[in-house]
Structure 1
Amino acid sequence: MTGISTTGNVLDHLTSTSKYAEEPKTNELGRAEFLNLLMVKMQNQDPLNPQDDTAFIAELAQFSELEEIEKLNKNFSGFSASMMSNQALQASSLVGRKVTVPGDESYLAMNDVISGSVTLPATTTDLQVDIYGENGSLLESVPLGLQTRGDVVFRWDGKFMEVNGELLDWQSGEENGRAPGKYRFEVTASIDGEPTRIETALSANVNSVTLGADGKLTLNLAGIGPVAMSDVKQFN
């Protein structure tokens, strides 16, 4: 019976100490409540089959582990919120800038240009860019001629076309150039004598940025619509 009284004294000491602890501010089970419940459990245990010290220590260890997990979760939640806030702040700086994304459509603004790029799998003797209007009609066919394997970058302002930094001896069929609006680009290369469609990436203005509940950023692009930040190939 000596063992039982000794355990009771320890619990009495723990209980008296816990009375001076700060009252928990939430409905969650705190350390004081846990010790009180544990004391009641031990006071009402079978004297002929008392809980041994190993079980007592195990319950305390389990509670401590839960406390550490809770602290870790709170710290991680705070870190996650801070990261999302920082990400949103950085993304807001993209508004008004241009990005390049995969696709064949973009919007030509007044006194602006549309930049595009393609990656050729092989050298071609005949690279051509066809430009279509919003109604689907073919407006311009621009021959880019011989281009070697790799990246080819072009810029179109509605009237003139520049390829890899050089202005082509070509201009739009419209004397004053094409009006601002949405345009679609198709790039075709003659490779091994066969016409081959080449995927394009075009520049577009960022109108706004949306931060989703999942922390993912979506860019709303002029003439294109919503595009995931992860799909951006280049920030211009």
Structure 2
Amino acid sequence: MSVTDTTSSLSLNDILANSSIKTNTTTGGLAAATGAATGSQSLGKDAFLKLLVTQLKNQDPLSPQDNGAFVAQLAQFSSLEGITSLNTTVSSMASNFSSSQALQASSLVGHSVIAQTNIAQISDPTKGLTGSVTVPSSIADGTVTITDASGKVVRTLDLGSQPAGSASFKWDGNDSSGAVVPAGTYTFNASAPIGGTATALATYLPATVNSVTLSQTGGELTLNLAGLGPVGLSKVQTIGM
């Protein structure tokens, strides 16, 4: 007795029609089948496995699907699921990092920091001020010129001979005549002759943190310093009490 195969390869619509997943053929297709299985228009793990099992049940027994094709489908879905889980984990880590950053930022408020700036807010001149300058190469002489808010020079400090590196200076809060200056904002401009040319030097001065701004795009913290305004955390040299 000969056996005649009267079946043909089933299409995806045939598979879906014969499966337990009911769908409207007028709006049919994979999206509708997936929606019926998962309650949404995204293909989830359960819906994928149901479609795979249905495909196995409805394959032509005399011409079954290639095993390698099923393995490839499972591998692709496994990779996709792994990437989805990884995205979820990374998002969770980013959220935790933001929370930790906010906690650290709140602890900086009210503290004194040493930041790269040439402006300082002096509330009590009798306490003086200690700052530093960055010397790119050894110098025989250098100066720090202090001016008030009106641009008037109130004092010039001598740095003297300095090796390359960081050179500190101290101002007692007095002007050139020895009188205590009034409270206010002062500018410190450091310079030294390097290679026969007067060169400006970066200055680091103390300031108090009034508030902290968190970046919404993953950038660095911004410290809002008294009398100075916003300064990036990367420009802060020292954080004190």
Which TM class, normalised by the smaller chain length? Answer: 0.7 to 0.9
Question: What is the TM-score of this pair, normalised by structure 1?
Answer: 0.72
Counterpart position of 1:29 = 43
Post-superposition offset of 1:204: 1.5
Counterpart position of 2:192 = 189
Post-superposition offset of 1:151: 2.1
Q: How does 1:47-126 map to 2 (within 5 A)?
A: 50-110=64-124, 113-120=128-135, 121-124=137-140, 126=141
Change (3 A) 1:39 1:182: same
Residue range with higher mean Cα deviation, 186-195 or 58-67: 186-195
Aligned counterparts of 1:99 and 1:231: Cα–Cα separation in 2: 10
Q: Is contact 2:133–2:202 with CA below 8 Å preserved after alignment?
A: yes
AA aligned to 1:97 is H
Aligned counterparts of 1:149 and 1:94: Cα–Cα separation in 2: 31
Post-superposition offset of 1:194: 5.3
Post-superposition offset of 1:113: 4.5
Post-superposition offset of 1:231: 2.1
Counterpart position of 1:156 = 171
Q: State whether structure 2 residue 149 is matched by structure 1 residue 128.
A: no
Q: Is contact 1:102–1:233 with CA below 8 Å preserved after alignment?
A: yes
Bigger radius of gyration among the two:
2
Q: Is contact 1:104–1:186 with CA below 8 Å preserved after alignment?
A: yes
Q: State whether structure 2 residue 147 is matched by structure 1 residue 140.
A: no
AA aligned to 1:203 is P
Aligned counterparts of 2:40 and 2:97: Cα–Cα separation in 1: 27
Post-superposition offset of 1:43: 6.2
- Give the root-mean-square deviation of aligned CA atoms: 3.2
Residue range with higher mean Cα deviation, 223-232 or 27-36: 27-36
3-state SS of 1:70 partner: helix
Q: Is contact 1:114–1:157 with CA below 8 Å preserved after alignment?
A: yes
Q: Is contact 2:38–2:47 with CA below 8 Å preserved after alignment?
A: no
- After superposition, what is the alpha-carbon deviation per residue over 1:216-236, rounded to whole angstroms, capped at 9, x for unaligned? 311111222112112222223
Q: State whether structure 2 residue 237 is matched by structure 1 residue 233.
A: yes
Counterpart position of 2:213 = 210
Post-superposition offset of 1:135: 2.1
Aligned counterparts of 1:231 and 1:99: Cα–Cα separation in 2: 10
Q: Is contact 1:107–1:114 with CA below 8 Å preserved after alignment?
A: no
Identity level (%): 42
Where structure 1 has 5 or more consecutive residues not aligned to the other structure, the ranges are 5-10, 17-22, 160-170
Post-superposition offset of 1:42: 5.5
Aligned counterparts of 1:35 and 1:45: Cα–Cα separation in 2: 15
| Partner of residue 228 from structure 2, selected from 204, 207, 224 | 224
Change (3 A) 1:207 1:231: same
Count matched residues: 206
Post-superposition offset of 1:47: 7.4
AA aligned to 1:233 is Q
Q: Is contact 2:193–2:199 with CA below 8 Å preserved after alignment?
A: yes
